[in-house]
Structure 1
Amino acid sequence: MTLNEIVDFDMEQGHMVQALLEHCHNMKRQETRLRLATAFLIAAFLATLVWIQFHQQKTEGFSGARVEALTTDEGSPRRCSTYLKTDPSKNACSHKQSTEQLIRWSQMSYGLDHQRFNLTDSSVLHVFTKGFYVINLRISYRVARHKCQRTHKPILEVKVTQQHNNYKEERDVITAVESMPCILYWQQSVTLNRAVMLEDDTDLRVKINSDTCEYVNWYVNSDLEVTYF
């Protein structure tokens, strides 16, 4: 092994150790944030149920319809979810001059309730029923070789939008903006969580900024789950 090869090998090892340390710190920070977000969503959902129960006592006509919608004949919640994964075969990065790019999904065979949801054109999740929904989204990124310079920090922009006939234009449901260090083999996930009221026949889409498309890890840890309560 030549002297230059030894130097390059040592530098590569140093970069990998640095990336590992920063990755561990980043994962710990994301885990803390996710726990806080989950606790907030649970608290918000419980508060919503308390409000609904109070409102039911005040309005008898609304009470009967709402109880039927929230419970089965046995009195248990009618909760259902859809679970989607990113589809690598359909998410080729576009070279057009667009600032945003749609995420395309593959529906899991066990994860789509056709009475509540329908995935159309791989990128639009149609919600049939008005109600409360919890949205959980995760987009995973990875810095591969020759993707960027160490002095550059990509800005990761992720959003979930909704479109309805009552709206003049598409609206943001939840958004996130994070920076990512350009370190070889660095991995990072952007996670979004929110409880939201959706109208019937609402279309949901997930978008990212186009210039970070090449960093997305389409094969692992990129998924969307929407739960109806």
Structure 2
Amino acid sequence: MGRNAQDQVALRDVEVGARPDESLLVLLAHCRDMKRQETRLRLATLFLLFGCCAVFLFCISPAFKGQAVTAEFGTAYSKQDSVVKDCPQTILTRPIIHLTSVKSAEDRSNGTHIKWDATLGEKYYNSSERAIVIPQPGIYYVYMRIALYQKRHEEEHEEERISIKLHTWKDSYPKDVTIMEAFDGIAATEHVNKNVYLGRVFELKTGDLLRVWIGSGYDLIDFRKTFFGAVLL
């Protein structure tokens, strides 16, 4: 009996010595929980990053840009439309004169005023004077484009010169006065298709006449593409 009692006591001592410490088990369990939470946090961050990337790619896509531009244009157009409706009638009826050139059968030489056909503002064009008639005083932007065309000459020719002048005629000074001009030269051996542009702002009075005078180079003018006009600012 004494021997058996001693053996049982020794066995209990071994079992007690082999049992892990409870604090260590708690620590291990806590570490596992922390790892699981860290994994979940990383997954959530990854999904959030993917979502942001998807939104960014969608925003820079052409389809989205087209929708944004369309919406912006629609808003701007609506604003402009409302502004136009609210504008005074005097603003909407400001004179605009635009003329296109006409090749006249009687004009086949230099030193003449160009004949025009009124595209806009027909009532402001005097066909007999070949001139724009200023309907009211103000600041006007006057512009013109003289289109030039020349085929290449095989034989020897002198350089072709063109001289263009904008004349104004006033009741207070009944003579043509040059207020804008341009000169150009074209080699006879060149095949030329180009334009001469002129444009300036002038203060004009009611009844003033504006007309374009060709001093030289009449044969170089492409009358199909030449125009002239004035707009009240």
The TM-score range, normalised by the shorter chain, is 0.5 to 0.7
The amino acid that maps onto 2:132 is L
1:105 aligns to 2:116 (yes or no) = yes
1:214 aligns to 2:225 (yes or no) = no
Q: RMSD of the TM alignment (CA)?
A: 2.7
Q: TM-score, normalised by structure 1?
A: 0.57
Residues 75/139 of structure 1: CA separation in 2 closer, same or farther (3 Å cut):
closer
1:226 aligns to 2:195 (yes or no) = no
Residues 147/80 of structure 1: CA separation in 2 closer, same or farther (3 Å cut):
farther
Q: Which has the higher contact order (CA 8 A, sep 6+)?
A: 1
* Counterpart for residue 120 of structure 1: 127
> Unmatched 5+ residue regions in structure 1?
1-70
> Structure 1 residue 203: deviation in Å?
0.9
Structure 2: distance between partners of 1:173 and 1:181: 28
Contact 2:152 2:189 in 1 (8 A): no
Structure 2: distance between partners of 1:205 and 1:147: 36
> Structure 1 residue 119: deviation in Å?
2.6
> Structure 1 residue 154: deviation in Å?
1.7
> Structure 1 residue 90: deviation in Å?
4.7
Whichever structure has more helix as a proportion of its residues is 2
Residues 145/131 of structure 1: CA separation in 2 closer, same or farther (3 Å cut):
same
Q: TM-score, normalised by structure 2?
A: 0.56
The 5 A counterparts of 1:1-80 are 73=88, 79-80=94-95
The 5 A counterparts of 1:158-197 are 158-167=164-173, 169-197=175-203
- The higher radius of gyration belongs to 2
Secondary structure of the residue that 2:219 maps to in structure 1?
helix
* Counterpart for residue 131 of structure 1: 138
- 1:98-153 C-alpha deviation (Å, 9 max, x unpaired): x6221100111xx1163xx2333261221121111101101111113559845x22
> Structure 1 residue 92: deviation in Å?
3.3
Contact 1:144 1:215 in 2 (8 A): no
> Unmatched 5+ residue regions in structure 2?
1-85
- 1:2-57 C-alpha deviation (Å, 9 max, x unpaired): xxxxxxxxxxxxxxxxxxxxxxxxxxxxxxxxxxxxxxxxxxxxxxxxxxxxxxxx
Contact 1:158 1:190 in 2 (8 A): no
1:82 aligns to 2:82 (yes or no) = no
Residues 127/149 of structure 1: CA separation in 2 closer, same or farther (3 Å cut):
farther
Residues 135/72 of structure 1: CA separation in 2 closer, same or farther (3 Å cut):
same
The amino acid that maps onto 2:191 is Y
> Identity of paired residues, percent?
16
- 1:68-100 C-alpha deviation (Å, 9 max, x unpaired): xxx952795654311111112456313xxxx62
- Number of residues paired by the alignment? 148
Secondary structure of the residue that 2:171 maps to in structure 1?
coil
The amino acid that maps onto 2:99 is L
Residues 169/227 of structure 1: CA separation in 2 closer, same or farther (3 Å cut):
same
